[in-house]
Amino acid sequence: MAAILPQLLNLLLQFVDSFGFLVLSAIGLAIIFGMMGVINLAHGEFITVGAYGTALSYHAGLPLPVAMLVGVGLTTVFGLVLEFTIIRRLYGRLLDSMVATWGISLIMIQGLRIVFGSSLSSIGTPLGSVQYGSFSYSTYRLLLAGASLLVLGLLYWVFTSTEFGTRARATIQDEEMSRALGTNTNRMYLLTFGIGSALAGLTGALYAPTMTIVPGMGSTFLVEAFVTVVVGGASVLVGTTGAGLLLGFINAAFSNLFGTFAGRMALLVTTILVIRALPQGITGLLDDVRGGT
């Protein structure tokens, strides 16, 4: 009994950790996908920009929370500029815009390498760890799971209780009609892309202290972000939360039993099985339930 309890606690903490990682990896991608139907293949590099912004300003002497804000701000500006110069030209050419963002991703990975070299010195994880039995878990990583809940809550508020949220949902539902009723849909797209970039930057900023900061670090988040978006479907909040719970549990269970790689593999296999039954993901399931009643 005494041996099982720490194991269970371990599993629980791992679940919390996975949930946070999946949600934070995916949320920026999911917002842009839900709104514009576009998958931003430079998503990983947006996260990298957030991490670089944080690390560089931290090493320049700013306190960590302020450095993180700098990282988020930098990524937001970066995203807005890209939307304005490139993504905007590709509206209506969904798949082409994905290829274009891949081009951006290549330029950014190598560009960061040329400018800043092969790695930045790391920040070091703050806050120490929680001890239980013979195990310990990083407090900071658990804090990140809390941050993911906070982000979800904040987005819920934005999308349900602000004028921007109402207009954004109207644009998703029927672009032409909302334009006819006076919504500037291009501005909606720009703002949504900005929010998506900001959230990607936030992910980079939050995970910067836990990782080695290298130009290709963005790809660490990609698989998790992709599977969460696919399993979640187009509905940002419900989909991402549901997918985070389901995949987080599966990832935690398999990682716990067979190691980190098995956890990742299980995510992919689950996703491929899910799409066979639910091609629109959890969003589609919800629509069916709602339509059925």
Least distance to other proteins, CB of residue 99, Å: 5
If the CB atoms of residues 102 and 164 are measured against other proteins, the closer one turns out to be 102
Residue nearer to other proteins on the CB measure, 200 or 230: 230
Q: Which of 5, 95, 177, 181 binds other proteins (CB under 8 A)?
A: 95
User: Does residue 271 belong to the site contacting other proteins (CB under 8 A)?
Assistant: yes
- 238 within 8 A of 155, measured Cβ to Cβ: no
**Contact residue for other proteins among 5, 66, 106, 181 (CB under 8 A):** 106
Choosing from 15, 21, 33, 137, the residue that interacts with other proteins (CB under 8 A) is: 33
Q: Which of 59, 93, 184, 257 binds other proteins (CB under 8 A)?
A: 93
User: 38 with 94: CB under 8 angstroms?
Assistant: yes
Q: Which of 26, 168, 195, 229 touches other proteins by CB under 8 A? A: 229
Q: How many helices (H) and strands (E) does the chain have?
A: 12, 2
Q: Does residue 276 bind other proteins (CB under 8 A)?
A: yes
Of 128-136, 157-165, 216-224, 249-257, which segment contacts other proteins by CB under 8 A? 216-224
- Rounded Cα distance, 67 and 60, in Å: 9
Nearest to 121 by CA among 70, 217, 56, 62: 56
Least Å distance, CB 106 to other proteins, is 3
The residues, any chain, with a CB within 8 Å of residue 119's CB and separated by 6 or more, are 212, 213, 214
Closest to 201 (Cα-Cα) out of 112, 69, 65, 80? 69
Inter-helix orientation angle 139-161/236-258, to 10°: 160
Q: Which candidate, 96, 29, 12, places its Cα nearest to that of 231?
A: 29
DSSP letter, residue 129: E
Give yes or no for residue 261 binding other proteins (CB under 8 A).
yes
Instruction: Using CB under 8 A, pick the residue from 49, 56, 230, 250 that binds other proteins.
Output: 230
By CB under 8 A, name the binding residues for other proteins. 33, 37-39, 41, 86, 89-90, 93-96, 98-100, 102-107, 109-111, 113-114, 216, 219, 222-223, 226-227, 229-230, 261, 264-265, 268, 271-273, 275-279
